[in-house]
Amino acid sequence: MQQKHADGLFIKAVAAQDTEFPSTAAARFGMWHVRDADIVARWDFEAWHHPERLNMQVRALSLARRPASLLARWTAVNSTGSKDIVDAGVHWDGSLAGENGWMKTNWYPFLRESEVGVVGSHAVEEVVSVDEPGLLVYDSA
């Protein structure tokens, strides 16, 4: 998977010794290998990302003067092919983008809904919400 998705310059892959993929431990391990990036973004392989998604989110966090950005809603294509706008559930943190240092401290991806996540406690006031569900699409079928 490393060669298929990573170019080694802008997108880097790090091998994590974990029995589950994706996992919180594997993602945080990769995060600790980020050295020279100003902004880090979660990018799910099973989702379609609009070409302007990162641009919109980085502009939003810059304009709001907040260290992180998260989409308020996203699109899910169901088994019949129709599109639903979703604002909760398994992909709630699938669009998180933020400043490198903030992400290292606050980013805990792939947590189950019963666990406290990045927007569940102290970090809520630090995240700017972008409400454009067309920027991220998951196939939920």
- Total domains in the chain come to 1
Please say whether the beta carbons of 44 and 94 come within 8 A. yes
pLDDT surpasses 50 at 9: yes
pLDDT in tens, 30-83: 777 777 788 888 888 889 999 999 999 999 999 999 999 999 999 999 889 899
User: What is the pLDDT at residue 115?
Assistant: 53
- pTM for this structure? 0.78
CA 138, chain centre distance (Å): 13
User: What is the pLDDT at residue 50?
Assistant: 95
Closest CA to 106 of 67, 55, 53: 67
User: What is the pLDDT at residue 44?
Assistant: 81
Give the domain range for residue 15: 2-139
